[in-house]
Structure 1
Amino acid sequence: MNKNLLLGAVLAAALSASPALAANSAFGCKHLEDNPTLPSVEGRDGFFFRIFADLRMQHPFTEDTVAQMGKLAEALKTHGTTMLYVPIPTKSVTLPTFLPDEAKLFGFDEDVAVAVYEDQVARLNAKGVIAVDLLSALRTTNGGDPPFFRSDFHWTSRGAETAAQTIGGMIKQLPGYADVTPVNYETKATGAELAVSGMRRTLQAYCVLSLPPVISTSYETVEVASADASLDIFGDSGGETEGAANDEIALVGTSFSDALVPNFSGFLAQYASLPVANMAITGGNQFGAITSYLTSREFQADRPKFLVWENPIYNNLAQFGTGSLTELIAAARNDCQPVGNTPDIDKAKGLYQADLTGTPITPNQVLLADAGDNGSRDVVLNFESTDGRTFTREVHRGDRFRGTGRFFIPLESLDSLELSKVSIQFDRLSEEKATISLCNT
């Protein structure tokens, strides 16, 4: 028997064995909502939505978070960098017409979802943060190619271009843009490309028929005046944190920015008419890329004119408390002074000990523990007070962070104490370059 006929007979038998399955799913999917890894629902026209991310209605955004974001934008601006924060709306609120009726059973309400997104943008703008509203722009693409893949949660090239056009247009309207030298870029289609999708692979195991492939037109962006079409205009494509030139955009964010097929960084360079250094990290979530970049020595030595921070709205900025944003604010301010008398350094053990006697700790200060070695990812600090008590602070950079060897440690609750000593355990350090400093936020 012909292989295609045999395959069709097998699929038909599978579907007929489950009448409800065949009636409710265009791909013979069953129990998607029970998937322990990625609970999802199947919508119309082959669109799939994640229950915990795409259909989520609660996106915590406290007043403390808004205030900290305002301080971060101000700290960056003081040193010549304008930050644009780009919250990516969920796939469901962008493409509500493709949602299944069951979405309401999981609490999704389009009007509330729109209001939540717009509220976050408005509150940030009120605090002096340039927050980019992508929802309005992405929803206007519904008549053409969809802005998101059907069987994946990332944006397509169409979505990436729309977002870049919106952001680039805003950058060109900023006062600081008058001081830059624009560069002309052009973007050309290079054909269709199939992207790797963990979401599609996970869902496929629950479906009989093949799900829509994660395929999109791929593009290449080059400088018009360049004789070398392969010129790397986005910094180091290998992901190293390179120093940024003054008239440049530094892009930090998630896989939305890091993925090659949608060409988001290329479109951003084209529509902003500026080179883009792409520092985004796939799997870095809300803080992986921006923490790696702002704590780096390269950032301190050569700051960009503009910093674009892309982050899906479901990545809660307060998920780990206030410490993550406090570290970013301290790194952006870089108002630090060395402390610690007579340090005792044991490179073999990765141990740095310093006398803090007579060193006052004031409110809102942060300790910068600098290993002097970019490869350092883990640090544990033990503080001793003059009355014999000890206090521990620790930071561990995972694989989704780039190593910088610089850790800004918030000192909440320690400002009322008289400290006598600090012992810092680095996973690796440079005996000649390791230092500790107190920084103001």
Structure 2
Amino acid sequence: MTRSLRILYIALFLGILLSLGLWSLGGVFSYIRTPDATLLNGRLAHSAEQHYDAEFPVKRLGTNLWALLDFKVFHEGRPGVVLGKDQWLYTDEEFNPVANGEQNEKDNFALVEGVRDALKKQNVKLILAIIPAKTRLYPEHIGNEAPASQHTDLYQQFHASARQADILAPDLLAPLQQAKNAGPVFLRTDTHWTPMGAEVAAQQLSDTISKKTPLTTAPLHYVTEALPSEPYKGDLTTFLPLDPLFSNLLPKPDDLSQRTTRQASEVAKSAPGSSDPTGGDALFSDATVPVALVGTSYSANPHWNFLGALQQAIGADVVNYAENGHGPILPMLKYLQSDALKNSPPQVVIWEFPERYLPMANDLSDFDPKWITQLKTSEATNDHLALNANE
């Protein structure tokens, strides 16, 4: 290398370092200290470090480039997502086999039976809303990677176990399959269903309640309004860290048409001069809780309006105890120990339970192990043991 080339090389290298340094200053100047972050408690340094790490442009550049390589060359994303065809994304939880899955299924279903028995002691009827996997509803967009054999018959097996345990569990798969001809029932870039899919499931659950365990409370009337459609980046796009340099390569956002549901009397009050379409139902309705909803983000996230869809379909108040990010079992165990169930037991509990969670292990360390063991020992098991003892 000649002297001129060496000088040019050094100048370019220093220029790049200087440019990256100046670029990085933006992350420093954009930091805003929170009142609880001080030097004395150590939170100031920690929060500043976290902020700068998130805003550090070199790290973002490296992340984007690596994600681009995975996406374009290997047709992959970060662990957590499986890329399908036609810009469809799936959670890898519906593809990967679960370690000790068979034993986990037995343990988890034993808890389901325990929940049934615990609610029965409170004269509460359990309805299990088993949510079919997105791969089961939209197999035509999966692509080259197929779900593990462990998931093949999971939905049918779950239903068969529920029938054997005398637990109401209406089939949601068939009506969702039929409804998808009229519009999307699951989001293309998200794990969850659409408001339309939530309405289909709500109507099926309402039919089951009216036929199998009718409510004794006076009916209420609800009105659902559709909001303007807006672009929605699904949760699965977070496993494709292509922002901000290669955002144009990301799958096109979904068109999400959110819905909002209100009691008809509230709608009437907001319209001056209008009469109350409920005929006074809300004023004289039973103060007891007719229905409780427990489950996952399919129920907890207001984007899907599953709560509102249930209220309108059932014609009754529904109290929501679902939680985001904790699966279906932990929120139910919390509900069983809650004052809400103890003091105001509903007539019906709808337990929204995505099928893919059945073979997954749960961290039950926050609960008394003796109580968990007792819960897993269902009435059927106790009756069987008593019968053997008598023999």
Following superposition of structure 1 onto structure 2, how do residues 175-214 of structure 1 map, counting pairs within 5 Å?
Answer: 175-177=213-215, 179-195=216-232, 197-203=234-240, 205=242, 209-214=249-254
Residue number in structure 2 paired with 1:234 = none
Residue number in structure 2 paired with 1:296 = 338
Amino acid at match of 1:260: P
User: Structure 1 pair 121/183, CA: closer, same or farther in 2 (3 Å)?
Assistant: same
Equivalent residues of 2:131, 2:353 under 8 A apart:
yes
Equivalent residues of 2:220, 2:316 under 8 A apart:
yes
Residue number in structure 2 paired with 1:85 = 128
Distance 2:308 2:347 in 1: 17
Amino acid at match of 1:200: T
Distance 2:204 2:239 in 1: 32
User: Structure 1 pair 30/221, CA: closer, same or farther in 2 (3 Å)?
Assistant: farther
Following superposition of structure 1 onto structure 2, how do residues 264-275 of structure 1 map, counting pairs within 5 Å?
Answer: 264-275=306-317
Secondary structure of 1:307's partner?
strand
Distance 1:304 1:36 in 2: 42
CA offset at residue 225 of structure 1? 3.0
Equivalent residues of 2:233, 2:253 under 8 A apart:
no
Following superposition of structure 1 onto structure 2, how do residues 69-148 of structure 1 map, counting pairs within 5 Å?
Answer: 69-100=112-143, 102-104=144-146, 107=148, 113=152, 115-148=153-186
- Greater fraction of residues in strand: 1
Unaligned runs of 5+ in 2: 1-67, 272-285, 375-381, 383-391
| 1:93-145, Cα deviation, whole Å (9 max, x unpaired) | 11112221x134x5469xx72x3311211211221111232111211123121
Amino acid at match of 1:289: P
State the structure with bigger RCO (CA 8 A, min sep 6), 1 or 2: 2
Q: Greater shift after overlay, 145-154 or 62-71? A: 62-71
Q: Confirm or deny that 1:47 pairs with 2:88.
A: yes
- Greater fraction of residues in helix: 2
User: Structure 1 pair 136/47, CA: closer, same or farther in 2 (3 Å)?
Assistant: same
CA offset at residue 317 of structure 1? 6.3
Equivalent residues of 2:187, 2:234 under 8 A apart:
no
Distance 2:125 2:180 in 1: 31
Equivalent residues of 2:154, 2:355 under 8 A apart:
no
User: Structure 1 pair 120/248, CA: closer, same or farther in 2 (3 Å)?
Assistant: same
Distance 1:170 1:99 in 2: 32
Secondary structure of 1:131's partner?
coil
Distance 2:88 2:361 in 1: 29
Unaligned runs of 5+ in 1: 1-20, 231-243, 325-394, 397-406, 415-439
Equivalent residues of 1:88, 1:311 under 8 A apart:
yes
Distance 2:259 2:270 in 1: 13
User: Structure 1 pair 123/413, CA: closer, same or farther in 2 (3 Å)?
Assistant: closer
TM-score, scaled relative to structure 2: 0.65
Equivalent residues of 2:130, 2:353 under 8 A apart:
yes
Determine which of 293, 296, 307 is the counterpart of 1:254: 296
| 1:383-432, Cα deviation, whole Å (9 max, x unpaired) | xxxxxxxxxxxx43xxxxxxxxxx54417999xxxxxxxxxxxxxxxxxx
CA offset at residue 43 of structure 1? 1.8
User: Structure 1 pair 281/120, CA: closer, same or farther in 2 (3 Å)?
Assistant: same
Secondary structure of 2:185's partner?
coil
Distance 1:257 1:411 in 2: 26
Distance 1:84 1:71 in 2: 14
Secondary structure of 2:258's partner?
strand
Equivalent residues of 2:194, 2:256 under 8 A apart:
yes
Secondary structure of 1:40's partner?
strand
Distance 1:275 1:194 in 2: 31
User: Structure 1 pair 318/146, CA: closer, same or farther in 2 (3 Å)?
Assistant: closer
Amino acid at match of 2:163: N
CA offset at residue 296 of structure 1? 1.4
Secondary structure of 2:192's partner?
coil
Q: Confirm or deny that 1:215 pairs with 2:255.
A: yes
| 1:298-339, Cα deviation, whole Å (9 max, x unpaired) | 221111111111121111366248xx5xxxxxxxxxxxxxxx
Secondary structure of 2:126's partner?
strand
User: Structure 1 pair 229/249, CA: closer, same or farther in 2 (3 Å)?
Assistant: farther
Distance 1:148 1:185 in 2: 24
Amino acid at match of 1:137: P
Residue number in structure 1 paired with 2:199 = 161
Amino acid at match of 2:234: S
Q: Confirm or deny that 1:31 pairs with 2:71.
A: no
Equivalent residues of 2:84, 2:141 under 8 A apart:
no
Distance 1:191 1:310 in 2: 27
CA offset at residue 64 of structure 1? 5.2
Residue number in structure 2 paired with 1:410 = 370
Residue number in structure 2 paired with 1:286 = 328
Distance 2:166 2:347 in 1: 17
TM-score, scaled relative to structure 1: 0.58
Amino acid at match of 1:302: S
Distance 2:373 2:200 in 1: 46
Instruction: Give the ranges of 4+ consecutive aligned residues of structure 1 lying more than 4 Å apart after TM superposition.
Output: 56-59, 61-65, 106-109, 411-414
RMSD: 3.4
Equivalent residues of 2:310, 2:318 under 8 A apart:
yes
Following superposition of structure 1 onto structure 2, how do residues 288-367 of structure 1 map, counting pairs within 5 Å?
Answer: 288-316=330-358, 319-320=361-362
CA offset at residue 204 of structure 1? 5.3
